[in-house]
Structure 1
C-alpha cells in the first residue's frame, strides 16, 4: 500500500468496517473496565464478605491470568479459529463474572477474578490479532487511535461507573454490568467474524511454558508488596522464569511467541522491548501520583483523579491527532519522540511535586500521555509490518500481553524503589518528597532505555520488508 493513500476516520465507522470496529471497541472496553474495577467495587465487597487482607489479590490474579491468557491466545486461535476462540473465551470471562458477582466469600471473588482475567486476556489479544486480518494498513493507525480513546474513557470512567453502581445498587452490580456487554460482544462475533479452518493438533498443550510465564508474573506481583530485599530476590526469580519461558518457546515445535521475540536483532524484537519498557517507566505516576496528591497537597480522591487524568486526555487527543500521518519517516520520528516525551513528563511531574507547582505537574502528565499517544500506534504498526505473515498472529496477540507485563513489572519496580527509599515510613512532606526522588529517577532511566530500543527499532525497520495486511 502506498504511503500516499490516506485512510479516513469515516471508513472505520462506515458500513464495511463498523461491525468489526464495534467488536474491537467492546473487547478493549471490557479489558480496561475490569482492570480498573477492583479499586471502586471491591472495598464494599470486603466490607460485606470480609477478607481485607486479600483485597489486592483481586487485581493481581486478574492481571496474572490475563497475561497467561494473552500468551496462549495465538495457540488457541490456531486450534479453534478466531470465531470459536473469541466466543469461548468471552464465555469463560462471563463465567468468571458470574462467580464473582454471586460470591459468598472473598475466595470465590478471587476465583472469579482469575477466570475473568484468563478469558479477557485471550479476548484482548485476539482483538489485536484481528486488526491486520480485517483492516488494510492505511486504516490501522485510525483503529489504534480509536482504541486509545476507548481505553482512556474506560480508565477514567470505569472506576466512576463502578463506584456509582456500587453506591446506588451493590458491588455485585458492578460485576453484573459486564453481562449485557459480553452477550452483545458474542452476538457480534457470531454475526461478523467468519468461520476459519482449524489447524491440526500436532503437538501437546504448552502447559509448562504457560505455567512458567504465570509463575514469573506472579513473582513480579508479589514483589510489589514485599520488603525491598525480598522484592529484589522475587524480581530476580521472575526474570529467570520469564527468560526461561522465552528460551523454551524458541525451541518448541509449536511456539506461543514469534521466534525473534525480545531480541535486539530485529525490528519486531526491539519494538517489543519499547512496548514493554514504556509502561514500566509510566508506572511511577500511574501507581503513586493520586496518592501523592492527596498526601502532599491535601486533595480529595476526586480532585486527585481529575488532575491525574490529564495523562489519559493527552494520550487520547494525541493518538487521534497523529493517526493521519502517512509518511513512514514521520512515523519513525514519532516512535523515537514518544519515550523522550515520557522522560520529560516524568521530570516535570517530579519538579511539580517538589516545587508545589500544579501547572508544571499537569504539563508533565500531558507530556507523559502524549509520549504514549504519538508513538504507541506506530510502534504496533511497525511491529506488525515487520512481521512475517506466518508469525503475525503470534506477534499481534503478544502486544497487549507485553503491555500488561510492563504495567505489572513497572508497578513492582516502583514499589521496590519507593519502599527502599523509605516512602512508607515518611511522615512530613519533606521526607515524602525526598523519598520519591529515586522512584522517578528509576522511571526516567527506563524511559531512556525505551528510547534506545526505539532507535534500534526504527533503524532495523528501514531495511525490513513491509508486510501487507487485509485486502482492500
Structure 2
C-alpha cells in the first residue's frame, strides 16, 4: 500500500508539471520577448510544444503496451526535464522554440502514461475516485500557474519558469524507478515504424496548416498532404502484425464512443478558454485579472464533477454521468448566448462553473469506459487515443472558431476602426462613446456566433454519450473481438502492496 501511495505521488507531480507548464509560461513571455526578441515568432513558442506533444501521444501509448509503462514514463519525464533545462538556457527565440519542441516530446508521454499506470495500479472502484483527485491538478495549475510565472519572472528571472521543473521531475523519476514494479513477458516485437511516421506526419501537417493562416495556398497544400497520409496510415494499420493503433479496438462501442466524445469535448474545452475572455474584457470591460478569476470557475467545477461522477458511474454505469456532462455543457454554452455588456461578472463565472461540471462528468466517464473495455496489453493505446483526440479536437475547434470570430470583427477594420482597441485598457479609454458601443456590439455578435458553434458541438457530444454501453461498468468489456492475427501478450503490471 505504501508503494502505491508513492507511485500516486509521483504521477501527481508529473501531471502537475505538464499542466502547470501551459499557464506558467504565458505570463513570462512578454519579458522573454523583451530580453531575447523574436515577437514575430511568439505563437510558435506555444505551437511547437503543442505539435510534438500531440504527435507523440499515440506512439507513447503503443510503446507502453509493448515494453511496459515504467521505461516509457521515465523516458518521457527525462525528455521533458532536458527540454526544460535547455529552454532556460535559450539565447534566442529560435533556440527557445527548438527546445520547446523537445520539451513537448516529453510532455506527450507524461499524461497518457500517467492515466495508464493509474488504470494498472488501481481497480475500477478506486480509480473512479482517484480520477477526481488528478482532475484537481488542472484546476490548481490553472489558478497558480499565472501567479507562479509572474512571481518568478518579476522576482528572479524568466528562466526559472523552466528551471523550477528540475526538482519535481527528479522526484517523479526516482519514485517511479524505485516503487513501480512490472512483470513483462519478454518477446520480440514488430515495431510499426511506417504507421508511426504516417500518423505523425499527417498530424504535424494538419497542425502546421492550422497555424499557416497568412498563406492560403500553402495552407491548402498542407491540408491535402495530411489528407493523403490518412489512407496510408489506415492501410498500414490493417496489415501490420503489431499496429501502432489497432483499429479493430474502435469497433468496441465503449472505445469508439469514448474516443469520438473526447474529440468533441476537446473542441469545446479549448474553445471556452479561448473565446470567453474576449467577451469578459472587451464587451463587459473587465480587467485581465478579473477575467482570469472568472475562468477559474471551470477549474473549480471540473474536479468536483470528476469526483462525484466517478462515484456515480460505479452505481449507474458510464452512460448516465456522460449524458449528464453533455447536458451541462449544452446548458453552459446556451447560457453564454445571453450574456451582454450589462451582465454582472457573477454570470460568466457561474456559467464557467457549469461548463467545468460538464467537462468533469463527461471526461471521467469516457476515459474510464475506454480503459475498462480492454486488458493491460491495450490500455496504453486506448488511454493515449483519448488524450490524442482531445488535443486534435481542441486545435481544430479553436481554428474553426477563430475563423468565424475573425470574419465577424472584420467589419470594424473595413470602416477604419481598430477592433484591437476594445481589448486594450488604454485604447478602450480613448474611444469615443459611439465607437465603443459599436465595437462592443460587433464583438458580442461575433462571439455569439462562436458560442452557437459550441452549442452545436455540445449537442452532438450529448448525442454521442447516449451510445455508451449501459449497465454495470464491468459489463463494458467485450472479449472475443481481437482478430486472429493480432498477438495479445500476457503482460501483467503490478504494484507491490
Checking the alignment, whether the CA contact within 8 Å between 1:260 and 1:269 is kept in structure 2 is no
Using the TM superposition, give the Cα deviation of residue 342 of structure 1 relative to its aligned residue in structure 2, in angstroms: 0.7
1:69-80 matches, cutoff 5 A: 69-80=56-67
- 76 and 464 in structure 1: CA distance in 2 versus 1, 3 angstrom threshold: closer
- Match of residue 449, structure 2, among 427, 438, 446: 438
1:185-334 matches, cutoff 5 A: 185-197=172-184, 199-204=186-191, 206=193, 209-220=196-207, 222-223=209-210, 226=213, 238=226, 241-242=229-230, 245-246=233-234, 248-260=236-248, 266-325=253-312, 327-329=314-316, 331-334=318-321
Using the TM superposition, give the Cα deviation of residue 222 of structure 1 relative to its aligned residue in structure 2, in angstroms: 3.9
In structure 1, the gaps of 5 or more residues are 1-13
In structure 2, the gaps of 5 or more residues are 414-418, 420-438, 480-491
Using the TM superposition, give the Cα deviation of residue 388 of structure 1 relative to its aligned residue in structure 2, in angstroms: 4.4
Checking the alignment, whether the CA contact within 8 Å between 1:23 and 1:185 is kept in structure 2 is yes
Using the TM superposition, give the Cα deviation of residue 187 of structure 1 relative to its aligned residue in structure 2, in angstroms: 0.6
Within 2, Cα distance between the matches of 1:420 and 1:83?
A: 48
- Match of residue 363, structure 2, among 365, 376, 381: 376
Within 2, Cα distance between the matches of 1:416 and 1:261?
A: 35
- 26 and 210 in structure 1: CA distance in 2 versus 1, 3 angstrom threshold: farther
- Considering only CA atoms, is the larger Rg found in Structure 1 or Structure 2? 2
Checking the alignment, whether the CA contact within 8 Å between 2:301 and 2:360 is kept in structure 1 is yes
Compare 420-429 and 102-111 and name the one that shifted more.
420-429
Using the TM superposition, give the Cα deviation of residue 106 of structure 1 relative to its aligned residue in structure 2, in angstroms: 1.0
- 124 and 262 in structure 1: CA distance in 2 versus 1, 3 angstrom threshold: same
Using the TM superposition, give the Cα deviation of residue 201 of structure 1 relative to its aligned residue in structure 2, in angstroms: 4.5
- 461 and 141 in structure 1: CA distance in 2 versus 1, 3 angstrom threshold: closer
Q: Normalising by structure 2, what TM-score?
A: 0.84
Counterpart of 2:461? 450
- 171 and 246 in structure 1: CA distance in 2 versus 1, 3 angstrom threshold: farther
Within 1, Cα distance between the matches of 2:329 and 2:446?
A: 21
1:104 equivalent to 2:95? Answer: no
1:124 equivalent to 2:111? Answer: yes
- 326 and 361 in structure 1: CA distance in 2 versus 1, 3 angstrom threshold: closer
Using the TM superposition, give the Cα deviation of residue 332 of structure 1 relative to its aligned residue in structure 2, in angstroms: 2.1
- Match of residue 165, structure 1, among 141, 152, 171: 152
1:40 equivalent to 2:27? Answer: yes
Checking the alignment, whether the CA contact within 8 Å between 1:345 and 1:365 is kept in structure 2 is yes
Q: Normalising by structure 1, what TM-score?
A: 0.88
Counterpart of 1:465? 477
Counterpart of 2:397? 410
Within 2, Cα distance between the matches of 1:424 and 1:196?
A: 63
- 298 and 24 in structure 1: CA distance in 2 versus 1, 3 angstrom threshold: same
